[in-house]
Chains A and B, each alone.
Chain A
Amino acid sequence: MTILEVAKKLKAEVLVEGDAVADAIGYVVASDLMSDVLLVDEDEILLLTSLASDQVLRTGHIVGAVGVIVINGKSLPSSMVKVARDLGMTLVKCDKSQYQACIAVSEALKSA
């Protein structure tokens, strides 16, 4: 399952389609601490976070994430779209809480 398909199930808004938009998700990380995300040793990560900052995209890029879903209905600073484009990262915005998003993503992944 790809991040676009997940976004559709979550009724989330896709802001930037990046390089790995068609790649299958290999692992899901839900965290607001980028230091923790950097510790994850998995590939094709989908990052769920309620942190709305450029650093989320930079961290995602470093760990080779397929994309970032910013949850909790956070309003994104305009710089995020630009940084996502620069780094080729898919950026999605979702109104669900982290807990709800986790459940919805896992249901979407199970149905695939």
Chain B
Amino acid sequence: MNEKLNKEILSKASISKKVDHGTEPLVLVEMIQRLKVRDVMTTTLATVERAAPLSDVQALMKAKQISGVPVEEGGRFLGLVTINDIIRALEGGYIDETCQKHMSTKLVVLEDDMPLSFALRYFEKYHFGRFPVINREQKLVGIICQRDINRALLLELTNELNRLESESSHYKVPEGPFNLYVLREFPVSKFDFENAGKAANKVKQLLKEKKFPAKIIRRIAVAAYELEINLCVHSDGGSLSWQLSNGRAEIIAHDSGPGIADVEWALKDGNSTASEWIRSFGFGAGMGLVNVKRVSDEFEIESTVGLGTRVKAVIYINPDAKR
């Protein structure tokens, strides 16, 4: 991909919050209309109850690196404690008092089926760092901050660029294929065997079109496929993202649970927790992670029971890519 063009579009992404349809590139306008708040928001929420002391919120903010924590009870959204509330509490010496007493209750919220353009306008209008997101039943379903939007737009834009690029038959890669920059993310659902593997197949097709060396393509494709199947078989759902830059292919599988109790055990040949039913699909022989490791130049796995697993596999496309 043309890096210059890429940077140009990315710089436009950063000013996209000025929703001025007159000068906005058409592709962006279309994108922020098409994307819904629910596509962008964070859904793994850290919440507190009314009776919790503000110091709990402070600890939560520090641990999760967030700047706003919703107060929720029995699915009802009651208020929000922001980092400003915490600063004031520290200054005023009432950090041990309850959230109920100090949370913001006059809140501007977004609804999950609003277009992203709406959210951008809200950020512009209210200068808040984040907005709680509710659904039609008025239930809290997520929280959205500028960072979520930047991330989503960046992903969408690169996807869009790749799509445009693959449509153009006269396209030439100016700085050699190894400096191609691609970033894509695919959601993977639990037990969705019908769609599992599609992402890896797409990855392979794209690399084939780019005429990468066959051996390298195969290693990248095998790692992507194994990780995708793993997400489908073992996780509660997650995403497979991959990026190609500076002569390295990075594949990251990320899920939100259930986590692996014994990573060392899972990395041993033939160890598997898969059921007979999964084996009937031809998977679950306990070779997945082993095989990812085999084809990768760098391999990392982090897992916490109850929180999820993140696996990163790196394959060097050119030999100098080692960091």
Q: Do chains A and B touch in the complex (CB under 8 A)?
A: yes
Find the residue from A35, A53, A56 having the highest chain B CB count within 10 A.
A35
Residues of B within 8 A of A51 (CB): 281-282
B225–A62 CB distance below 8 A: yes
A79 (CB) vs chain B CBs: closest residue: B194
Q: Is the CB of A35 within 8 A of B225?
A: no
Q: Are A55 and B196 in contact (CB under 8 A)?
A: yes
Chain B CB within 8 A of A39 CB: yes
Decide yes or no whether B68 CB sits under 8 A from chain A: no
Residue-wise, chain B 257-293 has the 8 Å CB interface mask toward A (1 for contact) of 0000000000000000000000101111111100100
Question: What is the size, in residues, of chain A's interface with B at 8 Å between Cβ atoms?
Answer: 22
Q: Closest CB of chain B to A104's CB: distance in Å?
A: 22
* B200 contacts A by Cβ under 8 Å: yes
Do B291 and A62 have beta carbons less than 8 Å apart?
Answer: no
Q: Which of A38, A43, A54 contacts B225 (CB 8 A)?
A: A38
Q: Which chain B residue lies CB-closest to A51?
A: B282
- In the assembled complex, the Cα of A56 lies from the Cα of B291 at a distance in Å of 17
Which residues A31-79 have CB closer than 8 A to chain B? 32-36, 38-39, 43, 49, 51, 53-56, 58-59, 61-64, 79
Number of B residues near A (Cβ < 8 Å) is: 28
CB distance A39 to B287 under 8 Å? yes
Identify which of B204, B282, B284, B285 contacts A62 (C-beta below 8 A): B204
A62 adjacent to B222 (CB under 8 Å): yes
List residues 223-261 of chain B with CB under 8 A from any CB of chain A.
225-226, 229
Contact in complex: B282, A35 (CB < 8 Å): yes
A112 to B148, CA, bound (A): 60
- Per-position 1/0 for B163-205, Cβ under 8 A of A: 0000000000000000000000000000001101110110011
- Judge if B48 is at the interface, Cβ distance under 8 Å: no
A-B pairs with lowest CB-CB distance, top 6: A58-B197, A34-B282, A35-B285, A35-B287, A62-B221, A62-B225
20 pairs across A/B with beta carbons < 8 Å? A35-B283, A35-B284, A35-B287, A36-B285, A38-B226, A38-B291, A39-B291, A43-B214, A53-B193, A53-B282, A55-B229, A58-B200, A58-B201, A61-B221, A62-B197, A62-B200, A62-B201, A63-B221, A64-B214, A87-B201
